[in-house]
Amino acid sequence: MTRAAPLLAAKLLPPGAGPLHLPRPRLMDRLRAGLERRATIVVAGPGYGKTALLARFLKESGEDSVWYSLDPSDSDPSVFFRYLVRGIKEMAPEFGERSQGFWEALRFRPEEAERLADVFIGDAEESLGGRIVLVLDGVQHLEGAEACARALRRLLAYLPGAMHLVLVGRSLPELGLKPLLAEGVVTLIDGDDLLFTPEETRTLLRDTFDLPAPPETVERLHSRTRGWVTALQLLRQTALLGAGADDLPEALFARTESEIFDYFSEEVFASEPKEIREFLLGSCPPTEIDPEVCAEVLQGLDVRGILAGLVRRHLFISALESRSAYYAYDPLFLDFLRRKLRAARGAEETRALDLRYGRAFARRGAFARALQHFLAAESVREIVGLLHRHGEPIVRAGLLGAVREAALFLAARGVRAPAASALWGEACRLAGDHGAAVGHFEAALAERGEGKGEISGRPATWHARPRQRRRPWRRPKTGTPPCGPAS
């Protein structure tokens, strides 16, 4: 049996709990009490401090924990459970050994999502002694992924006492929470709970930010920010408080939260030296920052030195907790930087930057991440070359959605590459959609017969010939099934 491709270690690294954090006993008490229940759900918009709160709680509580950061590629149940098992095996090495054969047999059968959950639950009952807190950060990426939603519903219904599940996200897939909340087996913390109280705002400004402010200023700021912690942090970064409350624009906090963030982020960004601005824009395409990859792409910059300085100054970046140094931007700041990159450098230069990242990841064998950047770069040649040389490991890793996205991209560009069609067919076959698989295999054979490439052999034998008509390509929605009609 073909071995599955390696998982990304960075996705199982917990975020660091930074020093600029206000103790929030009321929320810590709720999280602590929630451990006696089956699950805790923390759901709120971006910038509410969800991740920081959980990271601080786990550090202070000393609970054994596994932190899994989700992204759109995790909407396939086989990928989802591979990460879960990998994370728990680091805490309990014997986890999953009894059922190894079941995991292999079910790996490419998303219709068996509930059985995957049952195997996982059985392993937890047999292997775990003390309690483990399992954090799934970014569950909004599972919206629309019905198979993963079914698996989560199963876990919420039958999770053993040795495991506590924490779901963190901007939104949630359909999990049937109402009866669970009514039964009292789930704790829910939402955006209103995460907003700072007036007293917490005063303590944050005075004790954590070291910004003395009279009571009337605190009251004014709290009413304008509604206790939204990201707005308060941005005020500190731009030092607007130091000039006095009267200097704050009157209409500022009547804006949306994203507008508030962009307003202050522009101030923070513009105040940085040119080298730092270049690094901020150049390092934002990947979701996590690997200094080694960054240094290869951004040659001429002292990447490690800049990263250390940004972390030291708490500039919306944190080091992920691990022996290897990975970093991640605050999600709102990352979104801002990506918009800034496109506006400042234009579409062509942005695609060129993604192309360099894709090649750097490919050289390190991280083919799934490379494919994501090649798609962002809209590089037909790199996508086809990667699928031709390394498509099978991507499929065998269970990343069927990535293969489908690449195949749809090529079809929208009028490119008929037999390697892509054959891989799409294999993805459908593994997903159990044999009718669609046959259609894609036949398309691959027809394209090969038309002289447009080879299904196997040396990459140099591929020659893409676009059709005359081009269709616009749109990124598929998260959770879209990997199969479909042959193009």
SS3 string, 119-159, reads: HHHHHHHHHCCCCEEEEEECHHHHCCCHHHHHHHHHHHHHC
3-state SS assignment for residue 311? helix
Question: Which of 65-74, 291-300, 427-436 comes out lowest in average pLDDT?
Answer: 427-436
Tracing tokens 């067919």 back to the chain, one arrives at 425
DSSP-based three-state secondary structure for 189: strand
pLDDT digits (tens, 9 = 90+) for 432-449: 778 888 888 888 888 776
Stated as kind and residue range, the H or E segment containing 42 is strand 39-43
pLDDT recorded at residue 139: 93
On average, the pLDDT of the chain sits at: 80
Q: How confident is the model at residue 67 (pLDDT cuts 50, 70, 90)?
A: very high
Length of the chain: 487
* % of the chain at pLDDT higher than 70: 78
pLDDT band, residue 239 (cuts 50/70/90): very low
Distances (CA, A) of 70 to 84, 102, 167, 185: 11, 24, 11, 24
**Taking the CB of residue 61, how many other CB atoms lie within 10 A of it?**
14
Q: For the residues 292-300, what does the mean pLDDT come to?
A: 95
- Residue 425 token pair: 């067919």
pLDDT, one tens digit per residue, over 410-421 is: 888 888 778 888
For 2, counting Cβ atoms within 10 Å of its Cβ (0-12 exposed, 13-18 middle, 19+ buried), the class is exposed
pLDDT at residue number 294: 96
DSSP-derived letter for residue 247 is G
Rg of the Cα trace of the chain?
24
pLDDT at 429 over 90: no
Does 308 or 39 have the greater pLDDT score?
39
Residues 111, 432 contacting (CB under 8 angstroms): yes
C-alpha span between 423 and 403 (Å, rounded): 7
Three-state DSSP class for 176?
Answer: coil
pLDDT at 12: 92
Q: Report which DSSP code applies to 116.
A: H
Q: 398 with 82: CB under 8 angstroms?
A: yes
Read off the DSSP letter of residue 188. E
Higher pLDDT, 366 or 254: 366
More confident position, 201 or 19: 201
Looking at residue 145, what is its pLDDT?
87
Q: How far apart, in whole angstroms, are the C-alpha atoms of residue 310 and residue 295?
A: 16
pLDDT of the residue at 425? 85
**CA-based nearest residue to 66, from 167, 125, 136, 154:** 136
150, two tokens: 């079914």
Cβ contacts of 372-376, under 8 Å, gap ≥ 24: 372/73, 372/402, 373/285, 373/286, 375/405, 375/406, 375/409, 375/475, 376/285, 376/351
Structural domains in the chain, sorted by start: 9-194 (3.40.50), 198-270 (no CATH), 378-461 (no CATH)
pLDDT at 480 over 70: no
**C-alpha 302 chain-centroid distance:** 26
Q: Which of 256-260, 354-358, 469-473 has the lowest mean pLDDT?
A: 469-473
Residue 283 contacts residue 289 (beta carbons within 8 Å): yes
Q: CA angle 146-373-352, nearest 5°?
A: 150
pTM: 0.63
Residue 282, C-beta contacts closer than 8 angstroms, at least 6 positions apart: 294, 297, 298, 301, 353
Share of the chain above pLDDT 90, in %: 34
Average pLDDT of the segment spanning 217-229: 72
Q: What is the 3-state secondary structure (H, E, C) of 216-237?
A: HHHHHHHHHHCCCHHHHHHHHH
Whole-number pLDDT of residue 415: 84
CB atoms within 10 A of CB 97: 11
16 against 343, higher pLDDT: 343
> What is the SS3 string spanning 384-438?
HHHHHHHHHHHHHCCCHHHHHHHHHHHHHCCCCCHHHHHHHHHHHHHCCCHHHHH
pLDDT surpassing 90 at residue 303? yes
Of the listed ranges 34-38, 310-314, 427-431, 463-467, the least confidently predicted one is: 463-467
**What is the pLDDT confidence band of residue 20, given thresholds at 50, 70 and 90?**
low
Q: What are the tokens at 250?
A: 């009157």
Residue whose tokens read 């292999």: 104
What's the confidence (pLDDT) of residue 380? 93
Question: In the predicted model, is pLDDT for residue 15 greater than 80?
Answer: yes
